Structure 1
Amino acid sequence: MGEDKYYFQVRSGQSMITINRKSKGAAISTYLHYKRIGKNCEWLGKWNGKKFIEDTAPSS
């Protein structure tokens, strides 16, 4: 995982696909898009190299 990137997961069948974006705005926009189309998503937050920070899921 790359440091200072924002991550979330999208369930696809039995698999979880991890998606990342460099900017918070792009990550939130993409996350909310998946939520709007009915996908099961989990916000992970910003990876700082040791743990996820800013891990509160954005709301629409």
Structure 2
Amino acid sequence: GREYEENIRLDYLKRLNDYYNKWIENYREGPLLVIDVDKNKFPENEEHLGDIISKIDAQIYGLF
């Protein structure tokens, strides 16, 4: 896990992740954009940041 998660109980993190995955699978309130922050290192990689911004812009543009 991430460094800041080291002191959080593993069973809590697993339950939290399960609840989040169930919520995201059933989300139907509007457009949904999921960004995998484990694969997109946008704080260190400007190309990843640009890709994310482009995806967000495309979603926003599609709303209007």
* Length-normalised TM-score, structure 1: 0.29
Work out which structure has the larger RCO, using CA pairs closer than 8 Å and 6 or more positions apart in sequence: 1
Greater strand fraction, Structure 1 or Structure 2: 1
More helix by share: 2
Q: TM-score with structure 2 length normalisation?
A: 0.27
